[in-house]
Structure 1
Amino acid sequence: MYATAKDGTKLYYETAGEGGTPILFIHEFGGNYDAWEPQMSFFARRHRCITYAARGYAPSDIPADIEMYSQANAADDAIAVLDALDIEKAHIVGLSMGGFAALHFGLRTPERALSLTIAGAGYGTERETADYFRNTSLKVADNFERDPAEFSKIYSLGASRVQFQNKDLRGWAAFAERLSHHSAVGASNTMRGVQCRRPSFWDLEEQLKTMMVPTLVMTGDEDDHCLQPSIYLKKMLPACGLSVLPKAGHTLNLEEPALFNSVVSDFIAQVEQGAWKVRDPRADPGQVMRTE
């Protein structure tokens, strides 16, 4: 099935489950719609689940024009998928690139989000490593453009991917195989148009402070360039909780599927019961201990 984005781009999606509130899953750069299979199988028991291939990822359209790839389009594409299914509101769950899309979904169209789960998001947002990230991303784009199948062997062994390989060689091999099938055009344009150009979290401070959508931020404790950005989101977003998974890297939903599903399931349950609230003003981060 296909949804149509604002600019006419066709977006492939799949659904599972019929009852309960909808959950929309948005994949990372290194994945695709089928990388959410452990979550689709688990959450479809109680929810209507949707996963889709981002633009640039087959079987969705793969625009040749880099200007058709942006952070804004990534967020708006999620809306297009919901619109195609006549879904007014959904829980939005995103990993990495998808986590950024989930955050911007909440900033741009908060009225369409029941909640946000922002997992493994932060690369390129730290000011001290911003130039390094941008230059590295451009090199990654060049490498994917030349030979996705060959470069996937390198990309899949990044510093925050080896945790997955060490725990689950079979699961990691499936991830690496999926990565090898990325489109040269789609991967390079996504890296240049979305990853390299997205704004830092620190540039969004005023917007973050007023975004009241219930939010869960998740990160692995060995996903180093997501740790500080995740803590920053926790401090800025009024209705935000932070979950740090121990001895975990970047590919959280596949590396630790049971733990990921448990944490997200509990979060969604609290949201739906009205129990996930904004931070109590008495929990003053500037206070060490109360003296009077």
Structure 2
Amino acid sequence: MNLNTPAFSSFTHDGLKLAFFDEGDPSGVPVVLIHGFASSANVNWVHPGWLKTLGDAGYRVIAIDNRGHGASDKPRDAEAYRPWHMASDAVALLDHLGIPEANIMGYSMGARISVFAALAHPDRVRSLVLGGLGIGMTDGVGDWDPIADALLTASLEDVTHDRARMFRAFADQTKSDRDALAACIKGSRDLVARSDMAKIDAPTLIGVGTKDDIAGSAQELAALMPRARALDIPGRDHMLAVGDRIFKTAVLEFYAEVAG
């Protein structure tokens, strides 16, 4: 077991080869981590210290590279990135590993995927941690078309839209396949009905940075759900909240309550 540089394996689902790591205590309670747009299991969960934090706490830590990201296959068809398809990848990983149910934690797009997984397979989800996405889950998070355009633009210097420039720079930093990401951003934006959020009975923690201008209110989303609580991550924006110590401490406390 190496909590710094995990070994990746792969499995096939929906005609795609998907990469993942499976680390920590093999007999520990499983936590499945689902990363955000233009990120990867390493960028979202290893580099910010989540693998070490959860591994040191005794959990079995599993993370998938979503289709279009990291070492997984990268289709170019936007339809392939609908959230229910990516949610089915995560559930198929549980099947592949023989895990009946797990704690599911997603950040940003990964939070959306986690909710679709919980709606489709409530029996597989022991708890939810939703990071970087609040009421935007149901109400939308603004116009993302400029991000798709920015991903397909020849140079970052040609991008003037602030949010699009941020994600294009992130995609360049992570050496991502920008054509696949453009398809992903077009296909993965389906909203969740407020009435559907109310159906999710799994204990849920929703963490959003107080300077996050994308996610929307964690409190508003939590209010829709029967067993959810909101967490403000002080002074953090959308990009920096994911690795915050306060967020990690809150997740460990949440898991101590619900994950046993």
TM class, shorter-chain normalised?
Answer: 0.7 to 0.9
Shift in CA distance, 153/16, structure 1 to aligned 2, threshold 3 Å: farther
* TM-score of the aligned structures, taking structure 1 as reference length: 0.75
Which of 145, 149, 159 pairs up with 2:152?
Answer: 145
Q: For residue 241 of structure 1, give the secondary structure of its aligned residue in structure 2.
A: strand
Q: Write out per-residue CA displacement over residues 144-175 of structure 1, whole angstroms, 9 at most, x where no aligned residue.
A: 1234xx439979x759x7xxxxxxxxxxxxx9
Q: State the SS of the aligned residue for 1:139.
A: helix
Higher Cα Rg, which structure: 1
**Contact 2:136–2:216 (Cα < 8 Å) also in 1:** no
Asked if 1:190 is matched to 2:184, the reply is yes
Contact 2:35–2:110 (CA<8 Å) still a contact in 1? yes
Measured in 2, the distance between the counterparts of 1:179 and 1:83 equals 33
Q: Distance in 2 between matches of 1:123 and 1:216?
A: 13
Residue correspondence of structure 1 range 1-292 to structure 2 within 5 A:
1-5=9-13, 7-18=14-25, 19-35=27-43, 36-37=45-46, 38-45=49-56, 46-122=58-134, 125=137, 127=139, 130=140, 133-134=142-143, 137-147=144-154, 150-151=155-156, 158=163, 176=170, 179-195=173-189, 198-199=190-191, 201=192, 204-228=193-217, 230-251=218-239, 252-254=241-243, 256=244, 258-272=245-259
What amino acid does structure 2 have at the position aligned with 1:266? E
Paired residues, number: 243
Contact 1:90 1:114 in 2 (8 A): yes
Structure having the higher helix fraction is 1
TM-score of the two chains, using structure 2 as the length reference: 0.84
Q: Which runs of 4+ in 1 moved over 4 A?
A: 122-127, 152-155, 175-178
Contact map agreement 2:112 2:137 (CA 8 A) in 1: no
Give the Cα separation in 1 of the matches to 2:88 and 2:172.
25
Amino-acid identity (%) = 26
Contact 1:13–1:53 (Cα < 8 Å) also in 2: yes
Unmatched segments (≥5 aa) in structure 2 = 1-8
Q: Residues 153, 263 of structure 1: CA spacing in aligned structure 2 closer, same or farther, 3 A cutoff?
A: farther
| Contact 1:14–1:50, Cα closer than 8 Å, also in 2 | yes
Two-structure CA RMSD over aligned residues (Å): 2.6
Long gaps (5+) in structure 1: 162-174, 274-292
Change (3 A) 1:266 1:178: farther
Q: What is the letter of the counterpart of residue 41 of structure 1? A: K
